[in-house]
Amino acid sequence: MLKQRIITALALLAVLLPALFASQPEWFMLAALVLLCLAAWEWGQLNGYSKKSSWLIALDCLVLCAVAWKVGLPYRATPMLWVLAGGAWVLLGGLLLRAGVAGWPLLHRWMRIVGGVLALVLAWLAVAQARVMGINFLLSVLVLVWAADVFAYFAGKAYGKRKLAPAISPGKSWEGVWGGMLGVVVLAVCWVWADGYYQASVPSLYSRLAAPGWLLLIVAMLFLSAMSVVGDLVESLVKRSAGAKDSSNLLPGHGGILDRVDALIPTLPLALMLVSLLA
């Protein structure tokens, strides 16, 4: 299993890293589009559609992203869109977790499909805009989520006692969440220092949020870390409702695309919302 995980990870990096560091942002935008359309395919199956029918859901996601790309949204500032998307994630994410696994099937399937596809389209648009803003900015958002997950894992292993949401994700603990938050705050402070020391031509998310004051940066990191957990829990909730361990087996050793990007789906739009509010 470990060998399989490593091979899959290396294959992904071989595709994504050249796209990320390409001189033109469109290459990474295209790579992200493929991944998120495959995630839409997984979403269809988690909500009761066959593999064949789920390709139509992936096509819907592709068409919406293509239209957004065609009209130039990746290259425009869309502050109101991010405020609405961020507000929806905070409100609906909280309501979904409160309803729990039993509440998910009570929603009409078309609502689940539309909501999931819109979330994926907005995540793609957020990735696209972040890449246009600069590699340093995009990386700072991606690493935030990865760091929150890694620090939460080790803090949970070492100190985890109180379960966060045992009916949804039994492995998560409050101590893990707090450890993840602390790790992200430390990461942000170090990244701001590095931006200044190396005179980064493109400011990171952290430097942008630290500009008005350190308190805002710390509060924003706690908020984004918490919302990355919400994204993870929402996907776990859907999988439990569907009786699935993984969203698919597209990534041998890792599960599916959604299993790898669930925490990014709310965090990317929310990061752009915070930056937009400061503009």
Q: Does the residue 186 lie in any domain? A: yes
Cα 89 to Cα 97: distance, rounded to the nearest angstrom: 12
Rounded to an integer, the average pLDDT of 244-254 is 88
Range of the domain at 137: 2-14+26-278
Residue 125 lies in a domain: yes
Q: Are 269 and 83 in contact (CB under 8 A)?
A: no
Residue 14 has pLDDT above 90, yes or no: no
> pLDDT digit string (tens) for 34-78?
999 999 999 999 999 999 999 999 999 999 999 999 999 999 999
Q: Which helix (H) or strand (E) holds 55?
A: helix 51-70
Per-residue pLDDT tens digits for 85-109: 999 999 999 999 999 999 999 999 9
Determine, yes or no, domain membership for 167.
Answer: yes
In a domain, 219, yes or no: yes
Residue 168: inside a domain: yes
Total count of domains within the chain: 1
Residue 21 in any domain: the answer is no
Residue 40 domain-assigned?
yes
Contacts 24+ apart (CB under 8 A), 84-92: 85/122, 85/269, 85/270, 85/273, 86/269, 86/270, 86/273, 86/274, 89/119, 89/227, 89/230, 89/266, 89/269, 89/270, 90/227
Assess whether pLDDT exceeds 80 at residue 2: no
Compute the distance between CA of residue 5 and CA of residue 40 in angstroms, rounded to an integer: 22
Mean pLDDT of the chain, nearest integer: 95
Is residue 19 in some structural domain?
no
- For 72, other C-beta atoms within 10 Å of its C-beta total 8
- Give burial (CB, 10 Å; 0-12/13-18/19+) of 146: middle
Kindly indicate the confidence band of residue 1, based on its pLDDT and cuts at 50, 70 and 90: low
The pTM of the full predicted model, rounded to 2 decimals, is: 0.95
Place of tokens 């507000």: 87
